[in-house]
Every structure is written in C-alpha cells, then in structure tokens.
Amino acid sequence: MKRIAVVWIGLLLGLPFFGLSQAVSPLKTGVWRAVVKNKGGELPFGLEFTANPDGKGYTAYALNGAERLRFDAVTLKGDSIRLTIDIFEAEIRAKLTGTTMQGFWRRRRVAQNYTSLPFEARHGVQYRFTPKTETPPINVTGKWATTFRSGSDSAVAVGVFDQKGSKLTGTFLTTTGDYRYLDGNVVGDSLFLSTFDGTHLYLFKARRKPDNTLEGGFWSGESGYESWTATFDPTAKLPDATTLTYLKPGYKTLEFSFPDVNGKPVSLSDARFKNKVVVVQILGSWCPNCMDETNFLSPWYKKNKARGVEIVGLAYEKSAELAESAPKIQRLIDRFKIDYPVLLAGTNVKSEASKTLPMLNQVVGFPTTIIIDRKGQVRQIHTGFSGPGTGKYYDEFVEDFNRLIDKLVSEPGLR
C-alpha cells in the first residue's frame, strides 16, 4: 500500500515516478482508447503504438480522424511510460499494467507551472465515444452556421461535419483558423466530438433540438468552457480571410528586424530577400494551426526557393526573452525541417504583437501570412489557416496560394 500511495502522490504533484516500480509490463502494440478527463467529462482519442524497425523501443501516435500525430519519444522504465510532444512541451506519464494505463497528461505553461489532467487508456478498444454502431435517427452532415458564447462574448464559426452511420468527423472553421481534426460519434439525438494534439484538448457535445438546430457545450483544456448553437446552412461562410488584417493608410511595405535563435538580427532589407517574392509567416511554436501551416510551407519552400521565393517566420512566443523562447523555436525548426529563418518577434499577446508591426491595423490571429512582391510591396495578408483537417478548404488555400505566388514570381522586380 505504501508504494501505491507514493506513486499516486507523485501523479498528483506532477512528479516523475520512474523507478518506483520494479515489475516490467511489456507494452502492447496496436490501438488503445485513451481518455483525458476535463470538466466536460471524458475526452477520448486514439493512441497507437508501433514497434520500431530496429527492434529498439516504440513510436506512438495520437489518432484523430485521418490524423496520426507522432509523439517525439516513448520512454519505458519498469511499469512506467512517458510520451512526449516536445514542440508543445507536453507529455503523458502513466503506469502500465497489461492492457491498461493510468496517469496524467500535462503541458508546461511558464517556468515550472503546468496544466495537468488525469489520463487513462485501454488496449484493443477502438471506439471513440460509444461502441454502438447502429445508425442514429439524425444525420448532421453538411455546413452549420455556428455561434460560440462565453459570458457576454461571442464568436462566429462554420461547422463542417461528415457523418457515416454513427461515425462523425469534421471541424469548425473560424476567422483565425480551424479546430483541426475532430472525431466522434452521433448517439441518438446528440453528437460528440473531440481532439487531442498534445497542447489543445477539445471536447464538443450537442443535442439536435426539435427545430433542427444544435445546442451544446465546448470544453477546452483544464477549465475552458463555451456554449454553442448551430443552424444548418449550406451557404454558411466566414468573412474573406484576406480582408481582416491590412496595412494602415500610407503604408505599402513591411519593415522589421528581429533576432534568430542565435541572436543574429534579420531584416527584410537583407540581401537574401532583395528582388524576391517573400512570404512572412506570423506564427508561434505553441500554435497547432501554425504547425499545420508550417507542415505545408517547409516542404513547399524546398521545392520553390530556386524560383526566387523566400520565407521568413516571425514567432510570437509566451516570453520575449531569447533564452526562454529560442529552444522552443529550435524544436519547431527541427520537427518540420525548416530551411528558412524563424525569428523571435515578441510575445503572443495580440495587442503586444501588433506593436511590433505598427504598419498593420492589428495582428488578428496566429497564423497570419503576408505575401510581398519582388518590389517589396505587400500584395496580400491572409489571416488564419485552414489546415488539412478542413478538406476542400485546405485544398482551396493551397491552390490560391500557388496561383498568387506564380503571378508574383513572373512580375518584374527592382532595377
């Protein structure tokens, strides 16, 4: 009883508990049903383990719809397991007992302050919210004009759902990005959706009312909550993403000088950007939508940089101190194999971020993508990013992005 008490005290305090147990419980490969518990109840996601080809250790993936999000490391010691997603400074620690795991998820906020929630998993269980497979009496496939509310504040979104039997996938589109890959079920007159990407934990529940509207709740992380309502609307759409952030009157160009991870200042006036089409990516290493955009831009840059195109990332982090934020930016660079410079531009408080680029009306959201022509003039500012979890909306962004870049590359530059 004393050893068990010590383990659970360690869990509650967020302390490592490797080495406290002597028995070795082999890790079972395949899919586990994992659950993080927040104020909305169980927030489920898929967890898959595969044995590494060299026979040394394992690789783990979080499963949400079509996404397989790789953990950076799987560490086993005795009957203890640790899974890390370094880019988000997040981890799962649990005790492994045959076909079950029990422990906690936590994410570093600042210094040694953590957000933490209980975690458990069971091997061989592959359903999301319910094992029931019978077709429910409702079908929510399609577009839904959605409003999220928190106190007196509200925000509009577009829900995009695809239901096959009791299986439900989709996302919510917003003016600053999407809610990424949501996965869940429809049971009776209610829908349930969740996603886990290491840093953002989202749980949606709603009931379809007799008037065919949806009404429910949205729980995020440790304690976030918003109510939401939605009306089926095939024509629902958001404001044009290229109109939300813009240059103030009198400005045509962008100017800045920020340090890279080594402290070297980088400016748009540097020789590498002269006579080039430049994509300025406003991002943060903490931001999953920025992760999706970086996952597109990094390989795109490798294929297109010889055409006279450059990219520079402006990272807005939780701290403006280089010693604190440079390692986070470097982890982003390493994970996505980024070849273009990523600079520390300031903090991720939007009002503070806006001060670093005073020629903009404001920094509305992360990511924001600014496209500059070969003469140094801003030609488009796109707020937010619709990632691959949005399906055709992602495809449309890629098509529009490439079309604009092709046009700008063909235009004359400075003489």
- Distance, in Å, from the CA atom of 196 to the CA atom of 64, rounded to the nearest integer, reads 7
Looking at the structure, tell me whether residues 146 and 119 fall in a common domain: no
CA distance 252 to 246: 10
Each residue's pLDDT tens digit, 281-293: 999 999 999 999 9
pLDDT value of residue 250:
95
Q: What is the pLDDT of residues 342-380, one digit of tens each?
A: 999 999 999 999 999 999 999 999 999 999 999 999 999
Q: What is the pLDDT of residues 65-78, one digit of tens each?
A: 999 999 999 999 99
Going by pLDDT thresholds of 50, 70 and 90, the confidence category of residue 133 is: confident
- Domain containing residue 185: 142-232
Asked if residue 225 is part of any domain, the answer here is yes
Residue 21 reports pLDDT greater than 60: no
- Looking up residue 302, the CATH number of its domain turns out to be 3.40.30.10
At 109, is the pLDDT very low, low, confident or very high (cuts 50, 70, 90)?
confident
Phi and psi torsions of 320, nearest 5°: -85, 0
Q: Is the pLDDT of residue 17 over 80?
A: no
Do 62 and 195 belong to one domain? Answer: no
Task: Convert the pLDDT of each residue in 219-243 to its tens digit.
Answer: 999 889 999 999 999 999 999 999 9
| pLDDT tens digits, 152-191 | 999 999 999 999 999 999 999 999 999 999 999 999 999 9
Within a domain: 105? yes
241-270 core/surface letters (b: 16 or more CB in 10 A; e: else): beebbbbeeeeeebebebebbeeeebebee
Whether residue 111 sits in one domain with residue 183? no
Single out the residue in 123, 155, 179 at which a domain terminates.
123
381 and 263 assigned to the same domain: yes
pLDDT at 328 over 50: yes
Does residue 269 share a domain with residue 404?
yes
* pLDDT of res. 134: 86
pLDDT at 257 over 90: yes
Query: Does residue 136 belong to any structural domain of this protein?
Result: no
CATH number at residue 90: 2.40.128
For residue 132, the model assigns a pLDDT of: 83
- Indicate if 99 and 172 belong to the same structural domain: no
Q: Which of 209, 201, 198 is nearest to 225 (CA)?
A: 201
Q: What six digits make up the tokens of 329? A: 């930016």
Distance CA 94, CA 131 (A): 25
Q: For the chain, what is the domain count?
A: 3
Query: 2 pLDDT band (50/70/90 cuts)?
Result: very low
- Dist. CA 228–CA 211, nearest whole Å: 16
Span 384-399, pLDDT tens digits: 999 999 999 999 999 9
Residue 81 clears pLDDT 90, i.e. is over it: yes
Q: How high is the mean pLDDT of the chain?
A: 92
Q: What is the pLDDT of residue 6?
A: 41
The CATH number linked to 223 is 2.40.128.120
- Give the model's pLDDT for residue 114: 81
Reported as a pLDDT band with limits 50, 70 and 90, residue 113 is confident
- 355 and 262 assigned to the same domain: yes
Share of the chain above pLDDT 90, in %: 87
pLDDT score at 85: 93
Residue 186 and residue 330 in one domain: no
Rounded average pLDDT over 94-110? 93
Look at residue 92 and tell me if it is in a domain: yes
Query: Could you give the angle at the alpha carbon of 206 between the alpha carbons of 202 and 207, nearest 5°?
Result: 165
E strand segments, 52-166: 58-64, 67-70, 73-77, 80-85, 90-97, 100-108, 114-123, 142-150, 153-164
403 and 269 together in one domain: yes
**Selection from 410, 386, 371, 114 nearest residue 253 by Cα:** 371
Average pLDDT over residues 90-96: 97
Position 25 scores a pLDDT of 59
Q: Are residues 83 and 191 in the same domain?
A: no
Q: Name the domain boundary from 92, 123, 154.
A: 123
Confidence of residue 33 (pLDDT cuts 50, 70, 90): very high
Q: Are residues 272 and 397 in the same domain?
A: yes
Contact 150, 359 (CB under 8 A): no
Looking at residue 24, its pLDDT comes to: 52
Q: Which tokens is 286 given?
A: 């903490």
Residue 414: the pLDDT is 72
- 237 is a domain residue: no
Amino acid 355: pLDDT: 96
Question: With bands split at pLDDT 50, 70 and 90, how would you rate the model's confidence at 338?
Answer: very high
**Residue 166 included in any domain:** yes
Compute the C-alpha angle 63/65/68, nearest 5°: 35
- Residue 129 domain flag: no
Mean pLDDT for the stretch of residues 72-101: 95
Q: Is residue 241 part of a domain?
A: no
User: What is the maximal distance between C-alpha atoms in the chain?
Assistant: 79
> Residue 256 and residue 201: Cα distance in Å, rounded?
34
pLDDT at 63: 97
Listed residues 215, 232, 249: the one ending a domain: 232
What confidence tens digit (pLDDT) does each residue in 285-323 have?
999 999 999 999 999 999 999 999 999 999 999 999 999
Note whether 278 and 220 are same-domain residues. no
